[in-house]
Amino acid sequence: MKLLVSVQNIVECTNAIEGNAAIIDIKNPREGALGACTPKTIKEIVKISHNFNSLCSAAIGDVQYAGNASLAALGAAMCGVDYIKVGLRTESASIAGSIMKEVVREVRNYKNFYGEKIKIVAVGFADWQRANTFPVEELYDIGLAGNCDVLMIDTAIKDGKNLFDFVKEKEISNFAGNFRKRMRKKKKFYNKTKKKNKKIKRFYVS
């Protein structure tokens, strides 16, 4: 298990590292559930975190449009983060899927500080009914369609209520289990297709 601590400035980052945080989560709650910090702040926190071997995630905002989201994600990738978190604040699961596809496409050629692939996190909301967003159970279809690396369920409105005020623990467990099964199937299909394509390529080359 890894400890993730949300921070919005260098002081909070330093305190989190001293507390042995494995992942420094950069976000600005004054701008939304997944509010973004400035590029300057993100770069400063990334530099400090990586000096102490902590990973960094950065929220890019509660987004509704693919253009805004993909541009913000590209900026976060250029700041050197390890994870990019996208708050999907839209009523349409179809639009959310399009947003994630564009985000993944824009950052797929960028690497983190360690030369590894930057992981993309799709965030849905447990309190979707009062936040007027898509039903949270549709998140794993969005994640699969967009080739996301991580799914996250949060609350959109921060008023003291938590995740389990809106979804039961069993529902979360089922959600995670279903997603893992579907990811395994997709990976198995991808590996088969990859092998098949390699054979075809060798056939044509020869």
- Which among 13, 48, 14, 47 is positioned nearest to 27, based on CA atoms? 13
For residues 181 and 22, what is the distance between their CA atoms, to the nearest angstrom? 27
Crossing angle for the helix pair 39-51 and 66-78, to the nearest 10 degrees: 40
* Residue 85 appears among annotated catalytic residues: yes
For residues 125 and 137, what is the distance between their CA atoms, to the nearest angstrom? 9
Catalytic residue, from 40, 85, 117, 188: name it: 85
Distances (CA, A) of 121 to 92, 193, 203: 18, 25, 38
Q: Which residues are catalytic?
A: 27, 85
